[in-house]
Amino acid sequence: MPRKVYVLDTSAVIAGFVPGLAKAEQVTVQEVLEEAHDLCSKLELETAVAAGKVRIVSPPSQALDEIRKQVTQTGDVVSAVDIKLLALALYLKRAGDEPELVTDDYAIQNLASLFGLPYQRIAMPGIKEVLRWEMVCPACGRRYPPPAHRCEVCGSRLVRKPRR
């Protein structure tokens, strides 16, 4: 039977999903521990890590590359930490586990859907459909595929919008 593994992002840690309440295994990446540094949840998380209730795992570079490639294609704005968490979930899935991302971040949820990775939101309602982004010029209205940053015609800075 596949093991159920919760992959925690910083918002999950802040919201107090951790630690050790769920029977299932919980994992995160080192950077989340660092992001939680100044928060009151830090001590709780560190205690959970020390007690072996939350494991710190580094995803292999192959999984990281796959996620990065997809991020470039969809134009999602995600941090390096987010990419690591997604790569970790992807890696666990391929290893035969049953990962579930715990996150309130829409961009992470969007990418998770594209990879068929289940996620659980903490407080906010999740996205209903997978979004694809496009870059739109606010001055002349021209549209470009990501990762374009400036309008080729008028030079304005492009803004990111969901593609219809």
**Applying CB under 5 A, which residues contact Zn ion?**
137, 139-140, 142, 151, 153-154, 156
Nearest CB to Zn ion, comparing residues 8 and 135: 135
Nearest CB to Zn ion, comparing residues 115 and 144: 144
- Helices 106-114 and 61-74: crossing angle in degrees, nearest 10, is 110
> What sign for the dihedral angle of Cα 92, 93, 99, 103?
positive
Q: Work out how close the CB of 135 gets to Zn ion at its nearest, in angstroms, rounded to a whole number.
A: 10
Cis peptide leading into residue 2 (ω within 30°):
no
Q: Work out how close the CB of 146 gets to Zn ion at its nearest, in angstroms, rounded to a whole number.
A: 16
Mapped onto helix, strand or coil, the DSSP state of residue 103 is: coil
Q: Sort strands 54-56 and 25-28 into parallel, antiparallel or unpaired.
A: parallel
**Is residue 11 within a helix (H) or strand (E), and if so which, with residue range?**
helix 10-14
Q: Work out how close the CB of 36 gets to Zn ion at its nearest, in angstroms, rounded to a whole number.
A: 41
Nearest CB to Zn ion, comparing residues 18 and 151: 151
Nearest CB to Zn ion, comparing residues 130 and 140: 140
Name the closest residue to Zn ion (Cβ): 151
Q: Work out how close the CB of 144 gets to Zn ion at its nearest, in angstroms, rounded to a whole number.
A: 9
Amino acid identity for residue 88 in this structure: L
